[in-house]
Structure 1
Amino acid sequence: MKTIKLLVFALFFISSFSITAQDNPFKVEVFGKGEPILLFPGFACTGDVWEATVAELSKDYECHVFTFAGFGDVPAIEKPWLPKIKDELVKYISSNKLDNAVLLGHSLGGALALWIATENSAFKELIIIDALPSTGALMMPNFKSEYMVYDSPYNKKVLGMNDKDFESMVSQMASGMALDASNQEIIKDWMIKADRETYVYGYTDLLKLDLRNDLSKIDIPVTILAATEPYGIEMAKTTYNSQYKTLKEYNLELAMGSSHFIMFDQPDWFIENVLKALED
């Protein structure tokens, strides 16, 4: 009888642990010592996207590197995906007393940094990497957040794709995100390994997010590093200045000859400008 009770307890403990793990909206690894920097990756990426960045920054800073649920080896969570991640990031920041941290985010990660900063002005600064307050408005004319729903023909199509068709789709997408073929493969592999529902519904969450009017609440230094490919310098300037027009003050730096993954395409320029932003 005692053995049975112990077995039942062990099974309960294992089940409870699994549920807890699956409910965790992110994995975080900490490198280095010094003033804290929180590094948020882009959509479908793992924290490995920051490997070269952390190798440099961890010499002088404490780097908190995140991988979000459904990506890499982090189990998926129930939707709504993006609001849950944001809320748990806020809790992580509070419980670890990181309100004075630098928030550094790429793409989706940049949008998250902006979102969090609209609710808390205590952070030291934001460094935003090729990210917009409204991705949906960039992609769709006459955009409204309420148009973005989970139950859409496009979402059904992507959810129903076989592995071969999905790989073909993301291969084409990755080819426009970095200039070097080897980096395109890395990006493609991240997307292929992503939990499919997270990939579909999480992106719907991102498209739905519109922070343009809320940017006026941010009163800390903001540096934006923006890609110029494939649409050119003038289009990049127009897009960023339009989307960030309610932000009181920001420094926009353009990465010449770079696609979306600036840290891959222009690594020296990238780290130079990140360090400059941190030192200013």
Structure 2
Amino acid sequence: MKNLILLFVSFVFSLSIYAKNESQTISVEVTGKGKPIVLIPGFTVPGDIWNPLVKELEKNYECHIITLAGFGGTEPIEFPWLPKVNESLKNYILENDLQNATIIGHSLGGTIATWLAAQDELKLSKIILIDALPASGALMIPNFDPENLIYESPYNNQQLAMDDVAFEQTATAMSKSMSLKESAQEKIKNWILESDRKTYVYGYTDYLKLDLRENLKNISIPVTIIAASQPYGEEMVKQTYKNQYANLKNYNFIIVEDSAHFIMLDKPEWFLKQMQTILSSN
């Protein structure tokens, strides 16, 4: 009997640890009432990047604002990071019965939205992808093979070993290509610096490994893709998206002039109006 009690206690304790770890994978803030919208930010970015948009949307929609583990001051989780994030978001949508939800995702958040839209169990309404690709690694790495991307690599080890000064210099350089506004560049830099370093390094490996180009064939709901024209120019952007989304049957494609990767920071008024227009369409 004593052994049985100990076994039961151990089982309950294991469940509580699992629940704790599961809940830490994503942090969610819910506001507003109406049809559900799930908003997923990009890599290193906290959910509050959506605040200006949510301020308007919450009048008519129930907004579920996501922050991913290791970013925005949240606790890191065990690796592999991205597969756990994907599954947690899928479970969150199912467990909260978010029928016909719309997902808005920026960058990595848009890639995750693509993965979610390809899942048979989820009955989503539409997805809106903001400067997001289904296979970023294939664009960035010659002879791309996900199997070749591992955590224990010289590049990753160098990133982990950087002192704070060197890492801040790296973050500053990266931020300058992601927005045309100095104030936004400062925000982006700080989000990188505030992220958990190991999540930043290994999580990016997870991101580059993910290739959803075949999964696109499973998506039948409406998709809107919004792409920034800078810094590569409109023609190159058009070709890149055409190649990456070749397996997606139908989608609405919008290129934003005079904007870099963080469109919501570079062109906030335009972005807000565009989101309202897309959400109000069938």
TM more than 0.5:
yes
Matching residue of 1:80: 80
User: One-letter code of the match for 2:26?
Assistant: F
- Map 1:131-210 to 2 at 5 A: 131-210=132-211
Q: Does the 8 Å CA contact 1:21/1:75 hold for their aligned counterparts?
A: no
Q: Does the 8 Å CA contact 1:180/1:265 hold for their aligned counterparts?
A: yes
Q: Does the 8 Å CA contact 1:22/1:76 hold for their aligned counterparts?
A: no
TM-score by length of 2: 0.91
Secondary structure of the 1:119 match is coil
Q: Does the 8 Å CA contact 1:22/1:75 hold for their aligned counterparts?
A: no
Stretches of 4+ aligned residues off by more than 3 angstroms:
16-19
1:119 shift after superposition? 1.1
1:44 paired with 2:34, answer no
1:156 shift after superposition? 0.4
- Map 1:189-268 to 2 at 5 A: 189-268=190-269
1:177-234 Cα shifts (integer Å, max 9, x gaps): 1111111111111100100000000000000000011101000000001000001110
Q: Does the 8 Å CA contact 1:223/1:251 hold for their aligned counterparts?
A: yes
User: One-letter code of the match for 2:126?
Assistant: E
Secondary structure of the 1:44 match is coil
User: One-letter code of the match for 2:104?
Assistant: L
Q: 1:167 to 1:82 in 2, by over 3 A?
A: same
Matching residue of 1:116: 116
Q: Does the 8 Å CA contact 1:42/1:105 hold for their aligned counterparts?
A: yes
Percent pairwise identity: 51
1:57 shift after superposition? 1.1
Q: Does the 8 Å CA contact 2:21/2:77 hold for their aligned counterparts?
A: no
What do you get for the CA RMSD once the two structures are aligned?
Answer: 1.6
Q: For structure 1, which runs of at least 5 residues remain unmatched after alignment?
A: 1-12
User: One-letter code of the match for 1:76?
Assistant: P
Matching residue of 2:3: none
More off after superposition, 59-68 vs 21-30: 21-30
1:52-81 Cα shifts (integer Å, max 9, x gaps): 111111111111001110011210000000
User: One-letter code of the match for 2:41?
Assistant: P
Q: Does the 8 Å CA contact 1:255/1:269 hold for their aligned counterparts?
A: no
